[in-house]
Amino acid sequence: MQKIKLHWATPIHNQVANAYGYNQHNSMMKKYSEKYMDYDDNAEWALTITPADNFTPVIGKKNILFTMWEFADLPNSYIRGIAKADAIIVPSTYCRDLFRKYTSAPVYVCREGIEPDKFPFHKRIIPTKNNGVKFRILWCGAPNPRKGYPFMLELIKVFEQMPSCEVYMKTTMPKMNWKQTLINAWIRRKEIMYKDNVRLAFLRMFRRIPKPYYANMLKVLGTHKNIIYDTRKLPLNELVELYNSAHLFILPTLGEGWGLTLCEAMATGCPSIATPVTGCADFFNDEVGYSIKYSVQPQTLDNYENLKTKTFLPDTKDLMQKVIYVMSHYDEAVRKGFKASEYIHKKFTWDLSAQRLNDILIEIQRGKV
């Protein structure tokens, strides 16, 4: 059978919006799709994997945009971005239903996954007083509210009083590109000068500067013996080792396009507690983990034109109760972790994602979108 031809428009060696999920999806999807399709720069169709507000169509081609969003409404920058695409692919049913409200272009679901050989099931050593193993709670994510970072900082006040456990915060520190910021300021100098409120104009210009408390917490967290704060960029094998070292994975997210770190942790058999919303709802529930109660709350996104939207706010009291429950019923949690690992390995692999992408491309090309 003749393979579908596709121009893969997103370079593998470049970071996609500096995001772990986008980068993994780009590299893994291209790797596993190679046996299903031919990559040809002269192909009629081009695929770009990027946030919609970063999307630049390839001139002279039909363009497919793979993207995602986490909250209840799309910002204007995303609406403008998806309007440039002839077809859209998203990783979850939540994203599909959301994006269809904003575009007449076809929207397809192609879920993310794991490499089974790189994320095998790992049997956890149950912590006891005799073996001296501390109960390790792992959280992974960027230091922002959406990933539940502020909730973890609140919970640390409780965890630091529990010497039998340790909290491993695997995160990154945002870096400020001061050169580009000054260039942007020069470009917008007339706009700033003629603003009635110059101070507010500058605040808007610098809105992407990391919040000061991120850096402050590095110093504070370093004083606690049972709190580990890790900002290194880990190679895949070390990331897997980190998942394997954890007894419990926590993701108190406000919303995910997919939720790749949760998917990866589950693949290793790590018992998990997460908010069962948005992208995570496609693969996470009480059958394979422990769901955090949540409420739907309004929120204004400063970085997206002050978009007023709704987010899924985790109940921190319920989260803490779930943590204590798992620690005291760890045999049950391990059984759930094993079930989660089987489920992810069976249903959510990059090879299955590549097969699905190929099916989508066939449908798109036959449909003459």
Question: What is the per-residue pLDDT across 321-349, written as a single tens digit (0 to 9) for each?
Answer: 999 999 999 999 999 999 999 999 999 99
HEC assignment per residue over 166-203: EEEEECCCCCCCHHHHHHHHHHCHHHHHCCCCHHHHHH
Using an 8 Å Cβ cutoff, are 267 and 114 in contact?
A: yes
* Contact assessment for residue 71 and residue 301, using Cβ atoms and an 8 Å cutoff: yes
Amino acid making up residue 26:
N
What integer pLDDT is reported at residue 183 of this predicted model?
A: 56
Which residue ranges form the domains of the chain, and what is each CATH number?
4-113+349-367 (3.40.50), 135-175+210-347 (3.40.50.2000)
Q: How confident is residue 145, by pLDDT bands cut at 50, 70 and 90?
A: confident
Q: Are 128 and 328 in contact (CB under 8 A)?
A: no
**Sequence-separated (6 or more) residues with CB below 8 Å from residue 229:** 169, 171, 217, 218, 221, 222
The segment with the largest mean pLDDT, out of 91-105, 142-156, 304-318, is: 91-105
- Our measurement of the distance from residue 319's CA atom to the centroid of its chain's CA atoms, rounded to an integer in Å, reads 20
pLDDT at 363 over 70: yes
Query: How confident is residue 16, by pLDDT bands cut at 50, 70 and 90?
Result: low
Q: How far apart are the first and last CA of the chain?
A: 22
Q: What are phi and psi of 317, to 5 degrees?
A: -65, -45
pLDDT of residue 290: 98
Indicate whether 195 pLDDT > 80: no
pLDDT band at 174, cuts 50/70/90? Answer: low
Reported as a pLDDT band with limits 50, 70 and 90, residue 101 is very high
pLDDT category at 248 given cuts 50, 70, 90 is very high
pLDDT band at 239 (very low <50, low <70, confident <90, very high): very high
Q: Which of 315, 312, 289 is closest to 154 using CA atoms?
A: 315
Asked if 7 and 46 count as a contact pair (C-beta separation under 8 A), the reply is yes
Say which range, 18-22, 38-42, 310-314, 359-363, has the weakest mean pLDDT. 18-22
Residue 40, φ and ψ in degrees, nearest 5: -140, 115
Could you give the CA distance from residue 175 to residue 142 in angstroms, rounded to a whole number? 12
Q: Using alpha carbons, list the distances in angstroms from residue 38 to 5, 180, 356.
A: 5, 38, 15
- Whether 123 has a pLDDT exceeding 80, the answer reads yes
Model pLDDT, residue 17 = 59
pLDDT at 37 over 90: yes
pTM: 0.86
What is the Cα–Cα distance from 324 to 285, expressed in whole angstroms? 19
Does the pLDDT at position 214 exceed 70? no
Which stretch of 58-67, 167-176, 268-277, 359-368 has the lowest confidence by average pLDDT?
167-176
Question: What's the residue count for the chain?
Answer: 369
Write down the residue that tokens 């960027």 correspond to: 142
Q: In the predicted model, what is the mean pLDDT of the chain?
A: 86
Q: What is the mean pLDDT of residues 310-327?
A: 94
What are the phi and psi torsion angles at 168 (to 5°)?
A: -105, 110
What is the Cα 165 distance to its own chain's centre?
Answer: 26
Beta strands (DSSP E) in 24-164 are 37-39, 45-49, 62-66, 87-90, 107-109, 135-140
Of 161-170, 233-242, 269-278, give the range with the top mean pLDDT: 269-278
Neighbours of 112 (CB within 10 A): 25
**Which pLDDT score is estimated for 186?**
55
pLDDT grade for 132, boundaries at 50, 70 and 90: confident
Coil, strand or helix at 264: helix
Q: With bands split at pLDDT 50, 70 and 90, how would you rate the model's confidence at 154? A: confident
Structure-model confidence comparison of residues 83 and 14, the more confident one = 83
